[in-house]
């Protein structure tokens, strides 16, 4: 299985400041079709996960444009341009290149300073 490793595991951020989370995979997630099979999810406290970014850099419907995804191959980044209180939660990356063995990162907990 492809192993997904996120860093940092804990991320305290001052409101209004930017934040970034890194996700590294044990194998390249770049398909021959040119797409990177890497998604980002956010699980807010007491809620189920929600899709933020799919195929590396595409924002899901309704996701604010302060969220952006970048990267290719084995290294990916989720950036939040200005963190707000509503962004608190655990962020997960997930690979879907190697199906059906899709795998998640261990999660990064974002908190407000």
Partner 1 sequence: EVQLVESGGGLVQPGGSLRLSCAASGFTFSTYWMHWVRQTAGKGLVWVSRIDDDGGSTTYADSVKGRFTISRDNAKNTLYLQMNSLRAEDTAVYYCVRAQKSSRWTLGSWGQGTLVTVSS
Positions 35 through 54 that interact with partner 1 (CB under 8 A): 37, 39, 41, 47-51, 54
Radius of gyration of the chain (CA): 13
Cα 81 from Cα 100, distance rounded (Å): 33
Per 3-state DSSP, the chain is made up of helix, strand and coil in percentages (nearest 5) of 5, 50, 50
Q: Cβ of residue 61: shortest distance to partner 1, in angstroms?
A: 9
Positions 88 through 107 that interact with partner 1 (CB under 8 A): 92, 94, 96, 99-104, 106-107
Dihedral (Cα; 20, 22, 23, 24), 10-degree rounding: 160
Q: Which is nearer to partner 1, 9 or 112 (CB)?
A: 9
Q: Is 60 in the site for partner 1 (CB under 8 A)?
A: yes
Q: Which is nearer to partner 1, 11 or 81 (CB)?
A: 11
- The first and second tokens of residue 13, run together, are 């951020």
Q: Which is nearer to partner 1, 32 or 99 (CB)?
A: 99
- The first and second tokens of residue 57, run together, are 């850099």
Which residues contribute to the site for partner 1 (CB under 8 A)? 37, 39, 41, 47-51, 54-55, 60, 92, 94, 96, 99-104, 106-107
């Amino acid at each position: 299985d492809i192993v997904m490793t996120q860093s940092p595991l804990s991320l305290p951020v001052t409101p209004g400041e930017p934040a970034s989370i890194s996700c590294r995979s044990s194998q390249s997630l770049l398909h021959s079709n040119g797409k990177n099979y890497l998604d980002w999810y956010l699980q807010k406290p007491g809620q189920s996960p929600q899709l933020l970014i799919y195929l590396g850099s595409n924002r899901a419907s309704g996701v604010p444009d302060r969220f952006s995804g970048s990267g290719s191959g084995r290294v990916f980044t989720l950036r939040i341009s200005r963190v707000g209180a509503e962004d608190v939660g655990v962020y997960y990356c997930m690979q879907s290149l190697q199906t059906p063995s899709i795998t998640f990162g261990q999660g990064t907990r974002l908190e407000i300073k």
